[in-house]
A and B are shown apart, each in its own frame.
Chain A
Amino acid sequence: MSLIDRYIQEVGRHLPRKNRADIKTELLSSVVDTLEDRFGTEPSESEVEDFLKEFGQPREVAAAYFPEGQYLIGPSLYPLFRMIAWIVVAAVLGAQLLAWGVAVFIAGESFSILELLGSMLTSIPVSLGWLVLTFIILQRFEVKPDLDDEPWDPQSLPQVNEEEDIKRGELIFGLVFGILILALVFFFPQWIGFVTAPGGKFYPNPVIIQYLGWVKASLVAGIGLNIYLLWQGRRSPVSRLVKIAENLFSIFVLALLVQGHNTWLAARGAGGFFDTLESISSITGGIWELVGMHAFRMAFGVALIVTVIETLVMLYRIVRGKVQARTITVLPPASA
């Protein structure tokens, strides 16, 4: 087989099946015409080689016939893919958190943040993988969505944010609140608990006392961040990273607290919400203590979920390079 035939065959390998034979015949005819014109009817091997180099790499020559074929997901499908991908990620995250919440708080199953993160790390890539596969098939069939049919109204544009300015009032409120809680845990840790009614019996929370060191550290970190932001007056890439680090630390401390409450409740046969309802009849004393500990666990669980979501959103914005157009929502301190 001559070099020319090998070249045409290689171009054909990268062409769409539909027009392959036709394009190959035309290319062969054109290559031979050019060679004859330049070098006569019997060009040498090196002349053919030089000419084919000039003609271009087979893959590139084929790509010019079928530009869309060079993409797994082409420009016409990509905006739709991106939109659906974020919906899928949000839906999978939401469903996992909901399932985790039901398992831990209602069914009283054992709590493990590593297991939760592990299942997220598996389910999100799998869901996105299926989505990519679907779009690759749509791309192969040259499906083109009409996303821009609706008339565009400039009035629908979002308001410009005061992007770099921080909300001082919010920060000062968070700071004062954080200091009050910190004072409580530092000087009156025995007062952390709950009462059944005004003037009623006081029940201390043994789990918070158990992890008091971590709670204090988390509160100090939150207060420190608020002071730093007030001092800076503006948000910066560094302050965003510090905020994410502080959130990760809060997640760790909240996970410890939820885990501690789980263990405490499970030891009293009231790990799940329904276990507690069942055991109400058999427990005569301390039922309010169980209810109170359930309430504490629920509050820490909600704070944990909200902090995880907030951190993911912040990471997503940083990755998209759009974080400068947003303001970071300051959550209440971890133990609030």
Chain B
Amino acid sequence: MSKENELSEMYNKLTQELRRGILVLAALSQLKEEKYGYALINSLAEKGLDIEQGTLYPLLRRLESQGLLDSEWNVEGSRPRRYYLISPEGTRTLEDLAGEWRSLTNVMEKLLDGISIEGEQNESN
């Protein structure tokens, strides 16, 4: 494996780790109204956050087992769909996580102040 490939693989892993932490917050934030999995993926994608189905479905199951989501099957449409809705416990957790997120982004903005972003650098070139 070339050095460039190694760096690229490492970058992908780091990006995945970075994103993994925010997926819970992102999913909870979009489930104040009940949604089935694919609708949630679309909702997140519309707002700019792409998430793989293979990642989202297990995450929804985990959040449900932790009591942060409720779910029920709806068989009225063309096919059965499992709808998820944030639970009262999930709502409290979402508020706490949102506070934590805002505080973190403030700190990170200060820490990253002056560090150029690759895309922006390319644009300016």
A residues near B, CB below 8 A? Answer: 19, 22-23, 25-30, 32-34, 37, 55-56, 60-61, 64-65
Which residues 40-62 of B have a CB within 8 angstroms of A? Answer: 52-55, 57-58, 61
Q: 1/0 per position for B67-103, CB-CB distance to A under 8 A? A: 0000001000001111000000000000000000000
In the complex, what's the smallest C-beta–C-beta distance from A329 to chain B, in angstroms?
43
The interface residues of chain B lying within 8 Å CB-to-CB of A25 are: 73, 80, 82
Contact A26 B37 (CB under 8 A): yes
Residues on B with beta carbons closer than 8 Å to the beta carbon of A30: 37-38, 53, 57
Q: Is the CB of A56 within 8 A of B54?
A: yes
Bound-state CA distance A188–B38 (Å) is: 92
Beyond known contacts A23-B61, A60-B54: 13 more, CB 8 A cutoff: A19-B61, A23-B57, A25-B82, A26-B57, A26-B82, A29-B79, A30-B57, A32-B79, A33-B81, A34-B38, A34-B53, A55-B54, A64-B58
Known contacts: A34-B38, A55-B53, A56-B54. The answer to whether A29 contacts B61 by CB under 8 A is no
Given the interface pairs A23-B61, A34-B38, the reply to whether A64 lies near B81 with Cβ below 8 Å is no
Instruction: Give the residues in chain A near B81, CB-CB below 8 Å.
Output: 26, 29, 33
Q: Using Cβ atoms and an 8 Å threshold, which residues of chain A touch B82?
A: 22, 25-26, 29
14 interchain pairs, CB-CB under 8 A: A22-B82, A25-B73, A26-B57, A26-B82, A28-B79, A29-B38, A29-B79, A29-B80, A29-B81, A30-B57, A33-B36, A33-B79, A34-B38, A55-B53
> Looking at the complex, which one of A29, A33, A34, A64 makes contact with B55 (CB distance below 8 Å)?
A64
Distance from B85 Cβ to chain A, minimum over Cβ atoms (Å): 15
Knowing A34-B53, A55-B53 are in contact, say whether A29-B58 is a contact too (CB < 8 A): no
Tell me the minimal C-beta distance from A238 to chain B in angstroms: 32
CA distance A30 to B37 in the complex (A): 7
Report chain B residues within 8 Å CB of A23.
Answer: 57, 61
Cβ-defined contact, B36 with A29, below 8 A: yes
- Residues in B with CB closer than 8 Å to A19 are 61
Q: In the complex, which of the residues A27, A37, A60 contacts B57, with contact meaning CB atoms closer than 8 Å?
A: A27
Take A26-B37, A30-B38, A33-B38 as given contacts and tell me if A64 and B79 are in contact as well, using a CB distance cutoff of 8 Å: no
- Give the CA-CA distance A22 to B82 in the complex, in Å: 9
A34–B54 CA distance with the chains assembled, in angstroms: 13
Residues of A within 8 A of B53 (CB): 30, 34, 55
Could you mark each residue 18-38 of chain B with 1 if its beta carbon is under 8 Å from any beta carbon of chain A, else 0? 000000000000000000111
Q: Determine which of B36, B37, B54 lies in contact with A64 in the assembled complex, contact meaning CB atoms within 8 Å.
A: B54
Q: Which residues of A contact B61 (CB under 8 A)?
A: 19, 23, 65
When C-beta atoms are compared, the residue in chain B nearest to A67 turns out to be B58
Minimum distance in angstroms from A23 CB to a CB of chain B? 7
In the complex, the chain A residue whose C-beta lies closest to that of B61 is: A65
- Among A22, A33, A65, residue most surrounded by chain B Cβ atoms (within 10 Å): A33
CA distance A214 to B88 in the complex (A): 81
State the CA gap A22–B60 with chains docked (Å).
13
Which residue on chain B has the smallest CB distance to residue A64?
B58
Q: Shortest beta-carbon distance, A255 to chain B, in Å?
A: 49
**Do residues A65 and B58 form an inter-chain contact, with CB atoms below 8 A?**
yes
Chain A residues with Cβ under 8 A from B36's Cβ? 29, 33
CB-CB under 8 A from B58, the residues of chain A are 64-65
B-chain residues with CB within 8 Å of residue A34 when the two chains form the complex: 38, 53
Bound complex: CA of A30 vs CA of B79, how far in Å?
Answer: 10
Least distance between A258 CB and chain B CB atoms (Å)? 55
What distance in Å separates the Cβ of A131 from its nearest Cβ neighbour in chain B? Answer: 30
Q: Which residues of A contact B52 (CB under 8 A)?
A: 56
